[in-house]
């Protein structure tokens, strides 16, 4: 995965080659043409989720920015892109629109016990109060977003 990658967006063009656009190297994840369709493909939907990886010396930090519209799409794309929730150092919610936080509850539920303990959720949402409650193993993690307006 490149240092910055789009996990979920409105569309992706699977046949577009990687290359350089200006000074930026663009690595696209696609599938070779074949007689058989791939078992899994990147999914697109109305929503946005991004992954950021930073390196300083021997240290690497991974951040998930937003959660897209739905958990199934987010989880599918994280798997295909090789982004391990256990390696996340932080999660960021940019603002309180559903196409940016819709996949959050399902993501937290599906990755419960895999994520680092006390993984921070940073909300950049103006006028938003976001609380993440890790409940017992028998319950799902819950997200309560109040006054989510950007």
Q: Of the candidates 119, 34, 28, which has an alpha carbon nearest to the alpha carbon of residue 81?
A: 28
Digit-coded pLDDT (tens) for 86-102? 999 999 998 888 888 99
Does a structural domain hold residue 37?
no
Give residue 139's pLDDT: 34
Average pLDDT taken over every residue of the chain = 76
Residue 123 lies in a domain: yes
Q: State the total domains in the chain.
A: 1
Residue 116 lies in a domain: yes
Domain annotation covers residue 38: no
pTM of this structure: 0.72
Residue 108 has pLDDT above 90, yes or no: yes
Among the residue ranges 38-42, 85-89, 97-101, 137-141, the one predicted with the least confidence is: 137-141
The answer to the question of residue 22 being in a domain is: no
Query: What CATH code is carried by the domain that includes residue 66?
Result: 3.60.15.10
Task: Judge whether 26 lies within some domain.
Answer: no
Residue 111 forms part of a structural domain: yes
d(CA 97, CA 123): 12
What is the rounded distance in angstroms from the CA atom of residue 114 to the CA atom of residue 56? Answer: 25
- Domain range spanning residue 70? 4-11+43-146
Task: Report the pLDDT value the prediction gives residue 150, as an integer from 0 to 100.
Answer: 33
């Amino acid at each position: 995965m490149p240092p910055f990658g789009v996990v979920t967006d409105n569309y992706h063009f699977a046949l577009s080659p990687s290359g350089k656009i200006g000074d930026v190297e663009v690595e696209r994840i696609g599938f070779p043409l074949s007689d058989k369709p791939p078992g899994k493909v990147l999914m697109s939907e109305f929503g946005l989720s991004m992954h950021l990886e930073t390196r300083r010396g021997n240290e690497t930090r991974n951040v998930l920015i937003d959660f897209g519209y739905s958990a199934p799409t987010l989880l599918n794309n994280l798997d295909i892109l090789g982004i391990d929730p256990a390696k996340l150092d932080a999660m960021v919610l940019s603002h309180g629109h559903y196409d940016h936080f819709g996949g959050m509850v399902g993501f937290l539920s599906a990755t419960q016990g895999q994520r680092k303990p006390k993984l921070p959720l940073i909300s950049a949402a103006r006028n938003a109060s976001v609380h993440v409650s890790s409940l017992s193993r028998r319950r799902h993690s819950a997200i309560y977003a109040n006054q989510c307006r950007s």
